[in-house]
Structure 1
Amino acid sequence: MYLTQGFHRSLQQTPDAVMTIYKNRARTFGEVGERVARLAGALQGIGVSPGDRVAILALNSDRYSELLLAVPWADAVLNPVNTRWSAAEIVFSLDDCQTAVLVVDDAFASLVPALRSAHPGLKSVIYCGEGPTPDGMLDYERLIAESDAVGDARRGGDALAGLFYTGGTTGFPKGVMLSHANLVTSALGAGASRALFRSGGTYLHVAPMFHLADFTGWNVQLLVGGTHVMVPSFDVRMLLEVIERNGVTGMTLVPAMIQAIVDDPATADFDLGSVETILYGASPISETLLKRAMAAFPSAGFTQAYGMTELAGLATFLTPEDHAEGIRLRSAGRAIPHTEVKIIDSAGAEPGPGCVGEVVVRGGHVMQGYWNRPDETTAAIDAGWMRTGDAGYMDHAGYLYVVDRIKDMIVTGGENVYSAEVENALSSHPAVVECAVIGLPDERWGERVHGVVVLHADAETTAQELRDHVKSLIAGYKAPRSFEFTPAIPRTAAGKILKRTLREEYLADVPRR
């Protein structure tokens, strides 16, 4: 198995079909195939050797998709860089895996001098933007035009395909090593679930392409064949226009994006009937928001995905059929065909349905390990089972319910409180747009449940009203004892709430409070 496998199938069967659309630029599979072969030749021509890392620091575009193909075509390894990192974090990732070639676009070209200064190992920088090529950089289009096409190395199997650095929700990022077999196994499992894409569909890349959530969507679409439409970043009006203009059939969204779409009054003015599938995940979604989203996209089947970078993206799906039944909307679904999922207690035993423990996952999609971190790899993978660090339970039918990160579980007055349950209750209040629940030190209770809340623009409420609302839905000891109202909640580029940041910000501000 290799990443370019599905691409070769489309080159053979549908060379004249449109593969990529970016703004007003469309290219067929045949055109992209020629460009990828020449780009791979260009990479080899500037000294990229088998196994070398090639980093991509850019917003979504058709050229990003070409690079995802050209790098393995040249027998090299992908290193997609988080576009929300600081220069120091970017330098860390480049230095950590000894990346010598970096591709940047207009949004990040200005960072190159600082990156070169801090990482002397950076030998070549390729500019893939739309403007004039900055001094000292290689021009992407000129490289393609002046290089000879080379044959696909068909780098595959257990060979390293990419280093995907974690988002840093729990500390400094780690390089997750994923092989071609890991990534293709995950994509095949997603396709076999029949909950996602179909041959000939049009997939919209609105989630950042550096992240494994969108990368997985790209990979599945590549396997089934169809068109990729890219927008550089998330903007509600632009998104709606692109969906209507291109007849988009599928996309991946995070809950924060879904919230922005359903809250925008312009959404009702666009024809969204072409959308057949919406995959969502990265963070919990409230039942209230989910029902609003299903009303906004009446033709779409919704699929919730649960997974992590270390699992090549995917572990479980809550399928459109599950959503239609409406009785397990708080579940993360069941194991996808390529994976096993179970719950274990502190002794490693399975505690049985309904009992909370750690979620562990096994299958051909489990990472090879963390780059240059053997001890952390050993701690994370036990006899083939990936320890996710998530607390959850299963019901009798094998549906998984994720209740919290184990490190985020709140122990208040001797009772365990899982933030997902409290957040679901809190977000059902009509004044609440989104919320996060964390534990804070408390002299009396050890920890107290604290709610961080974003309100609708014209809404008014009080902490006591929100507390009473939560107590009407779940046990009183689970209700937040304190609240903070804020205009926004910090998130990673993939949409995960940064609870560590919330705790640090609150505790740093304690003296002033």
Structure 2
Amino acid sequence: MDYRAAFNRGITLYPERDVLVDGDRRFTWKQWGERQHRLGNALLGLGLKKGDRVGVVLKNCAECFDAFAAGAKTGIVVVPINYRLNPDAICTIIADAECRALLVHTEFAATVQEMSARLPALEAVIAVGGAVDGLLDYESLLASASSAEPQAVHADDDLAVVIYTTGTTGDPKGAMATRRSMIMRMCCIAIEMQFGPEDRYLNSLPIFHVAGIIALGALFRCATNIILKDFIPLEFCRTVQQEKVTKAFLAPAVLNVVLNFDKVNEYDLSSLSRLLYGASPMPQEVLRRTIKVLPHCDMIQAFGASECFTIVFLSPGDHREALTGAGRVAGRLNSAGRQASLSEVRVVRDDGTNVIPGEVGEVIARSGQVMAGYLNKPKETAEAIRDGWYYTRDLATVDEDGYIYIVDRKSHMIITGGENVYPAQIENALFDHPKIANVAVIGVPDSKWGEVVKAFIVCKPGEKLTEREVIEFCAPRMASYAKPKSVEFLDSLPVTATGKLNKLELKKKYWAGSAKMIG
């Protein structure tokens, strides 16, 4: 299937049905089809051509989807950019991608104008959300362009999208997705989420990252996409109730925020039939609380990365069996699941051979979803993709039935006195404490042991703990060397724009200037 065909199915099959709901704005497939084509023709009219890059510095909005679709129709490469980064980081990404044009929300316009002198490749900046002096106006540009579908010749291996990694383990890198890999990604998530035309999918996390591709998978199956500009628990609950949302995606840290929202039980969330979670490990305590709040909602876990999208899923059936079963079956709630329908996944030793059950190794994947490489980074590409396999840098074990249990990131592993300690295992144990709402564990420098374990704790509202109480709670649950040697209490933990726990931010204070901090 051609990549652009994914954006045409709804135009043909459901022209008068809503496809995008963005606040007070609603677009039918017919209306959105015209917007896709107008944007594509407008970009071509500005002199861009197949293979050129257009950067997207937008909060969640319909125009994000206009850009993906226009890129599919013209062959112009779309570069979604994390608007929450500092200006220098945004400038670095725009320069690295050699963007010739940018779509920017008006609130970011001044920042982009200030950096334009450092961006020699940048020729056109288009303001979304209102007129800005010195910039092109988005709606005016669309109004002056043709609504006919752009005609261009494409190949499956043409570059389609460059997604920059979140940078939690170092500088962002541009993961290149071809037209073929984008179709494979959309197909994979459509299969696993069982999207259909009657679904109403809620985009509550930033579309510039993996959430955007999940939404494209919903569009591929002609589902309606409902867009939240920013994630606010109140707005999430209100929107699910008002729009009768059927499916959504939340990172565990964000889901935890919803569960701790004091008015969550005042809203009718019963329309939710399937909730996808991923981007970081899900503590069992949070999962069980979710099932209590959403008893009729199927849970599905995805594991993947910007470089390969989703390669492992824990299905709704797996969740149900684990919750009602015992022994090995019950333990599957701790797993990420099994390989996705369009992927091959292995857990290997350093020499590339498969581990045996219970042995820790690195997760690797081979799939049509895997990136073509990192933009402008041949060395990093060669390290990440070897003999056709993408090496994720995630450590895991695998059981006899093929369920994969993520232990931690290689870069997060703590080596204390020669012993390997996996922070995720300590975090899961601490989540069992009835007074703990959130937790993060890192290694910090130590003159005797090289590094030791440090825990950051967020207590539940109205609760208090001491460092000694936390350490004593850990004593019977783990080896002595794995226990936290110090505990710091915080009001909240830092997260990235996609809801991942940002351990790099926690480490900065302790590992400034050290290569260990970035793995």
Equivalent-residue separation in structure 1 for 2:418 and 2:2 (angstroms) = 50
**CA contact under 8 A between 1:3 and 1:156: conserved in structure 2?**
no
Corresponding residue of 1:454: 458
Secondary structure of the structure 1 residue equivalent to 2:333: coil
1:200 aligns with 2:198: yes
Structure 1, residues 313-357: CA drift from partner, whole Å, max 9, x if none? Answer: 111011111111232111111100110111111111112111101
**CA contact under 8 A between 2:71 and 2:160: conserved in structure 1?**
no
Corresponding residue of 2:326: none
Question: Which letter maps to 1:177?
Answer: M
User: Per the alignment, do residues 472 and 155 of structure 1 end up closer, same or farther by CA in structure 2, a change over 3 Å counting?
Assistant: farther
Equivalent-residue separation in structure 1 for 2:425 and 2:181 (angstroms) = 32
Aligned ranges 1:74-473 → 2 under 5 Å: 74-129=74-129, 131=130, 133-152=131-150, 153=152, 155=154, 157-193=156-192, 195-212=193-210, 214-311=211-308, 313-325=309-321, 326=323, 327=330, 328-473=332-477
Please report how far the alpha carbon of residue 477 of structure 1 lies from its aligned counterpart in structure 2 after TM superposition: 2.7
Structure 1, residues 350-402: CA drift from partner, whole Å, max 9, x if none? Answer: 12111101111111111100111111111111111101111111011111111
Secondary structure of the structure 1 residue equivalent to 2:400: coil
Equivalent-residue separation in structure 1 for 2:433 and 2:196 (angstroms) = 37
Question: Which letter maps to 2:465?
Answer: T
Structure 1, residues 217-267: CA drift from partner, whole Å, max 9, x if none? Answer: 112101211101001010111111111111101111111211111111211
Equivalent-residue separation in structure 2 for 1:350 and 1:217 (angstroms) = 30
Please report how far the alpha carbon of residue 4 of structure 1 lies from its aligned counterpart in structure 2 after TM superposition: 2.7
Secondary structure of the structure 2 residue equivalent to 1:83: coil
Equivalent-residue separation in structure 2 for 1:242 and 1:67 (angstroms) = 24
1:61 aligns with 2:65: no
Secondary structure of the structure 2 residue equivalent to 1:346: coil
**CA contact under 8 A between 2:195 and 2:218: conserved in structure 1?**
yes
Please report how far the alpha carbon of residue 76 of structure 1 lies from its aligned counterpart in structure 2 after TM superposition: 0.3
Equivalent-residue separation in structure 2 for 1:488 and 1:2 (angstroms) = 45
Please report how far the alpha carbon of residue 508 of structure 1 lies from its aligned counterpart in structure 2 after TM superposition: 5.5
Question: Which letter maps to 1:418?
Answer: Y
Corresponding residue of 2:327: none
Consecutive unaligned residues of structure 2, counting only runs of 5 or more, are: 324-329, 514-519
Equivalent-residue separation in structure 2 for 1:50 and 1:507 (angstroms) = 44
Please report how far the alpha carbon of residue 276 of structure 1 lies from its aligned counterpart in structure 2 after TM superposition: 0.8
Please report how far the alpha carbon of residue 507 of structure 1 lies from its aligned counterpart in structure 2 after TM superposition: 4.6
Secondary structure of the structure 2 residue equivalent to 1:107: helix
Question: Which letter maps to 2:101?
Answer: V
Equivalent-residue separation in structure 1 for 2:248 and 2:4 (angstroms) = 21
Equivalent-residue separation in structure 2 for 1:269 and 1:192 (angstroms) = 33
Secondary structure of the structure 1 residue equivalent to 2:510: helix
Aligned ranges 1:488-499 → 2 under 5 Å: 488-499=492-503
TM-score relative to the length of structure 2: 0.94
User: Per the alignment, do residues 456 and 508 of structure 1 end up closer, same or farther by CA in structure 2, a change over 3 Å counting?
Assistant: farther
1:501 aligns with 2:505: yes
Q: CA RMSD of the aligned region, Å?
A: 1.6
Question: Which letter maps to 1:439?
Answer: G
**CA contact under 8 A between 2:159 and 2:179: conserved in structure 1?**
yes
Secondary structure of the structure 1 residue equivalent to 2:3: coil
Question: Which letter maps to 2:316?
Answer: P
Corresponding residue of 1:20: 20
Secondary structure of the structure 1 residue equivalent to 2:493: coil
How many corresponding residue pairs?
A: 504
Secondary structure of the structure 2 residue equivalent to 1:477: helix
Equivalent-residue separation in structure 2 for 1:446 and 1:146 (angstroms) = 64
Please report how far the alpha carbon of residue 26 of structure 1 lies from its aligned counterpart in structure 2 after TM superposition: 0.9
**CA contact under 8 A between 2:189 and 2:214: conserved in structure 1?**
no
Equivalent-residue separation in structure 1 for 2:335 and 2:113 (angstroms) = 47
Question: Which letter maps to 2:276?
Answer: L
Please report how far the alpha carbon of residue 138 of structure 1 lies from its aligned counterpart in structure 2 after TM superposition: 1.0
Structure 1, residues 33-84: CA drift from partner, whole Å, max 9, x if none? Answer: 1111111111111111111000110100112111211122122000000121
**CA contact under 8 A between 1:437 and 1:450: conserved in structure 2?**
yes
Question: Which letter maps to 1:109?
Answer: A
**CA contact under 8 A between 2:197 and 2:224: conserved in structure 1?**
no
Please, which moves more after superposition, 33-42 or 149-158?
149-158
**CA contact under 8 A between 2:366 and 2:390: conserved in structure 1?**
yes
**CA contact under 8 A between 1:72 and 1:154: conserved in structure 2?**
no
**CA contact under 8 A between 2:349 and 2:362: conserved in structure 1?**
yes
Please report how far the alpha carbon of residue 198 of structure 1 lies from its aligned counterpart in structure 2 after TM superposition: 2.8
**CA contact under 8 A between 1:53 and 1:100: conserved in structure 2?**
yes
Consecutive unaligned residues of structure 1, counting only runs of 5 or more, are: none
Equivalent-residue separation in structure 2 for 1:14 and 1:503 (angstroms) = 50
Equivalent-residue separation in structure 1 for 2:188 and 2:40 (angstroms) = 29
**CA contact under 8 A between 1:6 and 1:225: conserved in structure 2?**
no
Secondary structure of the structure 1 residue equivalent to 2:116: helix
Equivalent-residue separation in structure 2 for 1:389 and 1:340 (angstroms) = 16
Secondary structure of the structure 1 residue equivalent to 2:183: helix
Please report how far the alpha carbon of residue 431 of structure 1 lies from its aligned counterpart in structure 2 after TM superposition: 1.6
Secondary structure of the structure 1 residue equivalent to 2:300: strand
TM-score relative to the length of structure 1: 0.95
Equivalent-residue separation in structure 2 for 1:273 and 1:154 (angstroms) = 45
Please report how far the alpha carbon of residue 196 of structure 1 lies from its aligned counterpart in structure 2 after TM superposition: 4.1
**CA contact under 8 A between 2:195 and 2:223: conserved in structure 1?**
no
Question: Which letter maps to 1:146?
Answer: S
Equivalent-residue separation in structure 2 for 1:4 and 1:508 (angstroms) = 46
